[in-house]
Structure 1
Amino acid sequence: MAETSAARAAHHRAVAAEIREKTENILPEIAARAGETEALRRVPDANIAALRQAGWFTAFLPARYGGQELDILSFYELLPMIGQVCPSTAWATMLLGIHTQGAAMFSEKAQDELWADAPDTLLSSSLAPVGKVTPVEGGLRISGRYRFSTGCDHARWAIIGSAHADPATGKIEARMNLVPATDYAIDDASWHVTGMSGSGSKDLVLEDVFVPEHRSELTQALNSYAARGHQVNRDPLYRCAFGPFFAYGLSAASIGIAEGVIAAYTAHQGKRISAFTGGTVAESAPAYMRLAEAAQEVDCAKLMLRRDMSDLMAAAETEHVLDYAATTRMRCNATYVTELCTRAVDRLFRASGGMALQRDNHLQRAFRDMHGAAAHAFSDYDVARQIYGRLLLGLPPAGNLA
């Protein structure tokens, strides 16, 4: 781990440059497999192997297991490269990558189980606390169907969300729990969808699974430097609150989708001839006005991501625990980034003509995938702006909003 801020920054630049160079080399093959990715309903093994070689899955791995400890902003500014050519692959890469940061906040014993003998271990997740949880001696027993576990076919472990009443106090405890793939079943039939179909976000089925205490952490602890892993992994990366960290990953993938649509629209309109006028569509004012507005929306989205992730990293550097107001603003901003990207994609797709509907046209796949990204619970702008709006007006949090 780098010992000073200057040394860390130099390390981050070097790692990011290497990932960028390697990713640029594999983008053509990832793009060529976009149709296959959608047909498989998961990311192809060849994509995962190529991305692993490029360094994506060790970016957030602790250095003591051979990881790079890359900063969050570099990761999120690199991710759109993948999203431009294959949104499903970017979505899975993002989630499989950032779960490493969350898992690094668990106990040292849990981390050793994950990575001591297999530093290439990946984790998927299903964070909504929907299952049955029973506190027992030494841990918890969990049963239930946990949905939308992106990339689970490539993961050896999953992070499972839970909530139960503490036996001593009666207060509800929200927790995150590490569960090995040997303890759950993947329901392959659960993922037949229109958007993000190549992400492989299938259901995990747990039946009376025992989670020992060392594999469970309070969700709040992951956001306040109180998790056991904070004492083991001291790089500021692991002091970035998991909530905003996670939410902005979805936003970074959305930026890539929108940038890909801008590029595809520009190329498409440049050679499109109106069947009625015989003129080049690109010379039509609405065509380039729509493009200008979409480009501005995506620029604004990127600037918002950069500001908030810079603030998150600055807080981590100084071990400052972000308060409710700061995390609420970041959560709402993350959803607004996705909202801006969705607006940009919709605006351009509507102006792309009937040929954009062809199954081999990138625009139609990106349009569907953008709406798949926007449908994620963490991307719900209606919920987020209610929470943020109440905060701005000095109203107490509403209990029915999460």
Structure 2
Amino acid sequence: MTTLLDKKRSVTSNVQSPDKATLDQVLSRIAALAPMVARLAPDIEQGRRLPAELVSALRSARIYGMLVPRRYGGLELDAPSTFRVVSALAKLDGSVGWNAMIGHLGSLMPFLVSRAFCEEIFQDGKDHIFAGSGQPAGKAERVRGGWRVSGSWPFASGCQNAEWIAGTCVMMEGGSPIDSPDGPGPMTRTCLMPAERWEIRDTWYTVGLKGTGSHHVALTDALVPDESFFEFPFGASFASDPIFGKFAEVLVLSHGAVAVGIAEGAITDLVELAREGVTQLFMTTPLVETERFKEGLARLDADLMAARALLEAQIARVWQNPERATAKGLARVAEQLQAVVWITSACVRVAESCFELAGSRAVYESSSLQRRVRDLRVAAQHFAAQPRNYVTAGAAVLARLS
């Protein structure tokens, strides 16, 4: 079925990718994955992870190397292009889109560590899968030879398929937190270690995004060398590529790409259901022919267009900014947080309205529409999409208008 919000209606479709042919090839591979994703949908939900068959296909489609520089074996696409890819995958399945978001951005973590660390990982020229948690749920105590790390980190999406896992720690010395050099509070740093060093704790029992496998990961008294730590997400990179001056901004906005893709899938599901000739109880006209359906569909399509337009405008603005951001803290990404909160909320409304218009046929577990609603509701609980971020954004608006 033709997408309601297709490339011709995309406000940034004329913004050229550095390698349009490569982007088109990736998008073609995603389209070819649609039957596999549909077939594996029950396994994704019940297994609470992406099946190995699908992960292998995503790797073959080069999803995990989209942003990695070419000199390290990646595709070196720009962020507006990778957002199109993430949205396309999220339209197929929310959990697939979410893990693609995490995986393709996670591949940039080694570039925040060091050149030597990065070259060690990418010397084989292959794409690698990364997972992790940005919550400072661990403690790293300074010892001879590095740091002694213990902790249990939640929401490590894709950890069961990852080759490398990261966890953020409060840095300690002599049993007390080390003061942050950037302001009040403790210093936090993130350690990146091979996946086999981590324990995966089976905790991901949720109402939505079930297939992301966002379990807890843990380290217990692990010795981690200095050279395995980096600052997330505002740390500097040795690399001069554009992405590393805007990593935090892209990271925040990427949540909007997932939300838009899931909402687009919800509209597609609704239209496909209506075109089956459904006539609702006590109605004499097929649903698709009723004025209520047509008016509702138009409103939902307009809401989705607005959400996508804001996302595309924001990522284009970030990507085209020649400055390399160095500030740290939420104030730096206030505008991106503001956009993602609004985009996600709009997409939740779209999906829930699709569910309402669809009637009783949407309540069955076999309906992908009910899964879209659950997935978006869980996505909206992420910190980046929380309405409390409007406080940070509001302060930035006041400063801008002063």
Please confirm whether the aligned pair reaches a TM-score higher than 0.5, indicating the same fold.
yes
* Cα deviation code 1:68-127 (max 9, x no counterpart): 111111000122211112111111111111111233222012213322247332110111
Amino acid paired to 1:243:
A
Distance 1:221 1:196 in 2: 27
**Which SS does the other structure have where 2:107 is aligned?**
helix
Amino acid paired to 1:39:
Q
1:180 paired to 2:194: yes
Which residue pairs with 1:304 in the alignment? Answer: 310
Aligned mate of 1:257, from 244, 254, 262: 262
Which residue pairs with 1:201 in the alignment? Answer: 214
Which residue pairs with 1:210 in the alignment? Answer: 223
Give the conservation status (yes or no) of the 8 Å contact 1:19–1:55.
Answer: yes
Amino acid paired to 2:95:
S
Matches within 5 A, 1:16-35: 16-35=23-42
1:66 paired to 2:73: yes
Aligned residues: 377
Amino acid paired to 1:74:
S
Matches within 5 A, 1:247-286: 247-270=252-275, 271-286=277-292
Distance 2:180 2:39 in 1: 56
1:122 paired to 2:129: yes
Give the conservation status (yes or no) of the 8 Å contact 1:124–1:157.
Answer: yes
1:102 paired to 2:109: yes
Matches within 5 A, 1:343-362: 343-362=349-368
Distance 2:93 2:84 in 1: 16
Q: Tell me which moved more, 336-345 or 98-107.
A: 98-107
The verdict on how the C-alpha distance between 1:163 and 1:118 changes in structure 2, with shifts beyond 3 A counting, is farther
Which residue pairs with 2:342 in the alignment? Answer: 336
Give the conservation status (yes or no) of the 8 Å contact 1:131–1:145.
Answer: yes
Query: How big is the shift at 1:362?
Result: 1.0
* Cα deviation code 1:138-188 (max 9, x no counterpart): 533221110111111110111212233326978522322212212210113
Distance 2:347 2:199 in 1: 35
Distance 1:185 1:137 in 2: 24
Distance 2:245 2:339 in 1: 20
Which residue pairs with 1:150 in the alignment? Answer: 157
Aligned residues: CA RMSD: 2.3
Query: How big is the shift at 1:63?
Result: 2.0
Gap regions ≥5 residues in structure 2: 1-14, 172-176
Amino acid paired to 2:259:
S
Query: How big is the shift at 1:367?
Result: 1.2
The verdict on how the C-alpha distance between 1:318 and 1:376 changes in structure 2, with shifts beyond 3 A counting, is closer
Identity of aligned residues (%): 24
Query: How big is the shift at 1:345?
Result: 0.7
Amino acid paired to 2:213:
G
Give the conservation status (yes or no) of the 8 Å contact 1:109–1:214.
Answer: no
The verdict on how the C-alpha distance between 1:62 and 1:136 changes in structure 2, with shifts beyond 3 A counting, is farther
Query: How big is the shift at 1:221?
Result: 4.3
The verdict on how the C-alpha distance between 1:212 and 1:9 changes in structure 2, with shifts beyond 3 A counting, is farther
Which residue pairs with 2:293 in the alignment? Answer: 287
Distance 2:368 2:26 in 1: 25
The verdict on how the C-alpha distance between 1:171 and 1:279 changes in structure 2, with shifts beyond 3 A counting, is closer
**Which SS does the other structure have where 1:130 is aligned?**
strand
Query: How big is the shift at 1:276?
Result: 0.8
1:390 paired to 2:395: yes
Give the conservation status (yes or no) of the 8 Å contact 2:179–2:187.
Answer: no
Amino acid paired to 1:166:
I
Which residue pairs with 2:12 in the alignment? Answer: none
Give the conservation status (yes or no) of the 8 Å contact 1:297–1:344.
Answer: yes
Give the conservation status (yes or no) of the 8 Å contact 1:34–1:85.
Answer: no
The verdict on how the C-alpha distance between 1:117 and 1:136 changes in structure 2, with shifts beyond 3 A counting, is farther
Distance 1:279 1:69 in 2: 51
Which residue pairs with 1:3 in the alignment? Answer: none
**Which SS does the other structure have where 1:160 is aligned?**
strand
Q: Tell me which moved more, 364-373 or 279-288.
A: 279-288
Amino acid paired to 2:215:
K
**Which SS does the other structure have where 1:132 is aligned?**
strand
Distance 1:149 1:112 in 2: 24
Which residue pairs with 1:4 in the alignment? Answer: none
Distance 2:132 2:233 in 1: 17
Which residue pairs with 1:81 in the alignment? Answer: 88
* Cα deviation code 1:214-253 (max 9, x no counterpart): 221223642xxxx2xx33x32212222x322112222111
Distance 1:247 1:334 in 2: 7
Distance 2:299 2:180 in 1: 56
The verdict on how the C-alpha distance between 1:235 and 1:9 changes in structure 2, with shifts beyond 3 A counting, is farther
**Which SS does the other structure have where 1:276 is aligned?**
coil
Distance 2:211 2:345 in 1: 22
Amino acid paired to 1:388:
A
Query: How big is the shift at 1:64?
Result: 2.4
**Which SS does the other structure have where 1:127 is aligned?**
strand
Distance 1:247 1:308 in 2: 11
TM-score, length-normalised on structure 1? 0.87
Query: How big is the shift at 1:355?
Result: 1.0
Distance 1:160 1:45 in 2: 24
TM-score, length-normalised on structure 2? 0.87
